[in-house]
Amino acid sequence: MRIAVGAITRRRPGMFAELLDSFVTMERPAGAQITFLFAENDAETTIQAELDAFRARVPEEVRFALEPRPGIPAARNTALDMALEGGFDYLTFVDDDETVRPDWLVTLMAGMEAHCCDLAGGPVALVEPDEQLSALNRAVFELQARRMKRRDRERRGFMEQGVSNPYNIYTNNWCVRLDFVREHGVRFDESLRVTGGSDSRFSLDLEAKGGRRCWVSDAVVEEPTPKKRLTLRYVYARARDQSSNSVRFKKQGLARVAGKAFARLFEAFLNLIAAPFTRGRSLAKVAYKSGVAAGLILGALGHRSRHYDSHADRYHTEVDR
């Protein structure tokens, strides 16, 4: 079994180095041949020192490619092409702002084989930042952490029932069987360069071509969450853009989503009323529910998210400006 362990990165050298550290101590599946594949999405290479240090610490081959075309899906396709051309059986992805637990790869591959699936995902455990948090920051963090745990419970429930996972699989914790990709030509949609959601689109396309998706609850990665993402503004924008992408991918019209949007707005209103009694903590739910409602309407009207445009670099890179 030949496994390509992949990640793409852009302007997160510190976080990327922490991911590499976790790869060093990661357990390897018995009898598997591991190769690490990394793609940097920038005009020039900036992580050579991190790569050189990593190569000196692991026995496996480390391959690298620079993808100067801007956009996450282009970088993902570069790593995917490296894996296909290298003749690998499986390709994994995690995000460059995450770390893997020691048993992550062993558990993920065991889940792939046990469920005979073509695309597998696992949970992301949010890690509170070391920075001092305000009450509002903490409320946002706790909301996001609860949503992650609920997502895991729902997906785990479907797997326990013995049915194919009906949810999209995201590249923050992801493994694909490459023979399926070779046979059906599934790719990351590069028209989604700034919108986000190219992993959701990949997951939907794989399912449409007959691919089986599964969830491996014990294959956990951790995501240290920067304080700058624990704001009402960010949680609103992220919910809006993810909701908008989902509606567009499913080609849902305004009549289809209007009732759901109204329900989310009503929930936001109730949480706003409750804010004085929760010391403002329910404001995190106001931002999230309002974002979902806005995204439903905007997506139905054909709005394209710009979640990863250059204006948002301060949220998605280690650059603060």
CA distance 150 to 244: 21
User: Cα 226 vs. chain centroid, distance in angstroms?
Assistant: 16
Q: In what order do the strands lie in the sheet with 173-177?
A: 61-66, 33-40, 2-9, 90-94, 173-177, 119-121, 213-215
Is 42 a residue whose pLDDT tops 70? yes
CA distance 168 to 107: 20
Determine the average pLDDT of the residues in 101-128: 96
Q: What is the pLDDT of residue 55?
A: 98
Q: What is the pLDDT of residue 316?
A: 85
Determine the average pLDDT of the residues in 195-206: 96
Which residues neighbour 18 within 8 Å (Cβ) at sequence distance 6 or greater?
99, 224
Q: What is the pLDDT of residue 320?
A: 55
Model pLDDT for residues 235-283, shown as the tens digit of each residue: 999 999 999 999 999 999 999 999 999 999 999 999 999 999 998 899 9
Determine the average pLDDT of the residues in 13-25: 97
For residue 315, name the pLDDT band (cuts at 50, 70, 90): confident
CA distance 7 to 159: 26
Q: What is the pLDDT of residue 321?
A: 41
Average pLDDT, rounded, for the chain: 95
Is 99 a residue whose pLDDT tops 60? yes
Is 62 a residue whose pLDDT tops 80? yes
Model pLDDT for residues 120-176, shown as the tens digit of each residue: 999 999 999 999 999 999 999 999 999 999 999 999 999 998 876 778 999 999 999
Determine the average pLDDT of the residues in 286-293: 97
Determine the average pLDDT of the residues in 164-189: 94
For residue 185, name the pLDDT band (cuts at 50, 70, 90): very high
Q: What is the pLDDT of residue 167?
A: 87
